[in-house]
Chains A and B, each alone.
Chain A
Amino acid sequence: MWYDTTEQARFAEVFTPHLVDAFRLAHWLAGSRADAEDIVQEASMRAFKGISGFAGGDSRAWVLTIVRNTSYSWLAKNRPSALVLAGDLDEQAQSRLDQPDPDPTPEARLIAQVEAETVRKAMAALPAPFREVLVLREIHELSYKAIADIAGLPIGTVMSRIARARRLMLASLGGIAA
């Protein structure tokens, strides 16, 4: 197989700097390091093949978009049961939302004591549409506008999903910690 060296250089320039961000997104979306490695490997191949289609601009957003899409197609193929995509909010999540916040001051203290593994489990239980926006916001520290571009959503939807994702996580972690 022969590859154009300029395309290789372009791939190195566009993809390599965002490898850590790519891995973190896949890890949060898939829930396991091993799956994330497979997903990033596949995403890197897609990016490599599609590098000529990258029109310049925000390379990080381009890479994260590919990783997001690859995560979902990979999960649909390999872990179909783990992928909760359907609808806006499943019933379980809705019922958790309807409960009032417990007394919130101790809540902050309780959350601070929760272990990383518990946080990951609670995130894994979130429906994917909520999980992805919260990850892109809290882990990748992207703006609502950038998240809207990557996830292909209107900016208002990004805003409301992030707010609800936080509420769901606090309800879930508050319940665990209490």
Chain B
Amino acid sequence: MTLSDQDELLLSAFIDGELSSIEAFQFENRLRAEPGLAAALEARRALRTALRADRADDIPSPQLQRRIAGLARKPSSTGSWQSMAASFILGLLLAGGIAWGVIEHGSRQDVTDQVVSAHIRGLMSSAPTDVLSSERHTIKPWFNGRINFAPVVADLSAEGYTLVGARIDVVDLSPVATLVYSRGKHIISVTEMPGAEAPASSTSRNREQGYLLFAWSDGRMRYWAVSDAAPEELERFVKLFQAASSTS
């Protein structure tokens, strides 16, 4: 059969989710009544699947990833900054060995701040996630090639926390994984990056720019959970997430 130009447009707009709900409703009725139209829809869905078939492997080479990362931290300027910081630290150490706590606290504060800022940006943005999916089997491969570690993606839907999607945030100039969960009207961001700053057992909790933040590490990865949910609510989420991540 030959589709009219009008039907061709409708069909495309329908599978792209670009029809209004009324138009989509009418089109669904036509699909049930017209097998030719339904078959044309199937062909277009098959084309979509075929186009996406090698998508997970279609990622830039490690060399290119390194070159771009290098551009983000040119040695000419960060180098001078680092050497300045190093001599500053050395100076402080020589001055009396009081520096460590302050410096360490300072950098941790900074990471916390970046994680919370990313959460806030996500809330304000029209698209709080780069990939929209409640399926952990969709989310996990999506990170492939975007970051160089495998983040924990916990399915907590049975406990009432819906996985909304994921995005890449940048902390200390490195891309990190952020998962977005929702419960009621509250959004919870979980940011993950490799490293083992905090001891495995402790979970620290503080308030930053009005948001509550839990930070912990499992010895391999560092985690931050940020939300405007009630403290006990977020704490429950964190415990569930920790339990799920230790078994997965």
A interface residues with partner B (beta carbon < 8 Å): 1-5, 8-9, 11-13, 15-17, 19-20, 22-24, 27, 33, 36-37, 40-41, 44-45, 48, 58, 60, 100-101, 103-105, 107-109, 111-112, 114, 116, 119, 123, 134, 137-139, 143-144, 159-160, 162-164, 166-167, 169-170, 173
Complex CA distance for A4 and B72, rounded to whole angstroms: 11
Q: What is the chain A residue whose CB lies nearest that of B45?
A: A108
Complex CA distance for A14 and B49, rounded to whole angstroms: 29
- Shortest distance from the beta carbon of A170 to any chain B beta carbon, whole Å: 5
Asked if residues B49 and A112 are in contact (CB atoms below 8 Å), the reply is yes
Complex CA distance for A24 and B55, rounded to whole angstroms: 8
Complex CA distance for A109 and B50, rounded to whole angstroms: 11
List of 4 A-B pairs having minimum Cβ-Cβ separation, nearest first = A12-B72, A17-B168, A104-B39, A163-B12
The A interface is mostly helix, strand or loop, or mixed, namely helix
- Shortest distance from the beta carbon of B190 to any chain A beta carbon, whole Å: 17
Complex CA distance for A22 and B76, rounded to whole angstroms: 26
- Shortest distance from the beta carbon of B134 to any chain A beta carbon, whole Å: 15
Interface stretch (choices B1-9, B20-28, B179-187, B192-200)? B1-9
Given contacts A1-B76, A5-B78, A139-B52, contact A170 B47 (CB under 8 A): yes
Which of A104, A159, A160 interacts with B36 by CB under 8 Å? A104
Asked if residues A163 and B42 are in contact (CB atoms below 8 Å), the reply is no
Contact with A along B189-215 (1 / 0, CB 8 A): 000000000000000000000000000
Q: Which among A15, A16, A24 has the greatest number of chain B C-beta atoms within 10 A?
A: A16
Given contacts A23-B64, A104-B42, contact A11 B71 (CB under 8 A): yes
Q: Please give, as numbers and ranges, the residues of chain A lying within 8 Å of B74 by CB-CB distance.
A: 1, 3, 8
Which of A19, A45, A138, A162 interacts with B51 by CB under 8 Å? A138
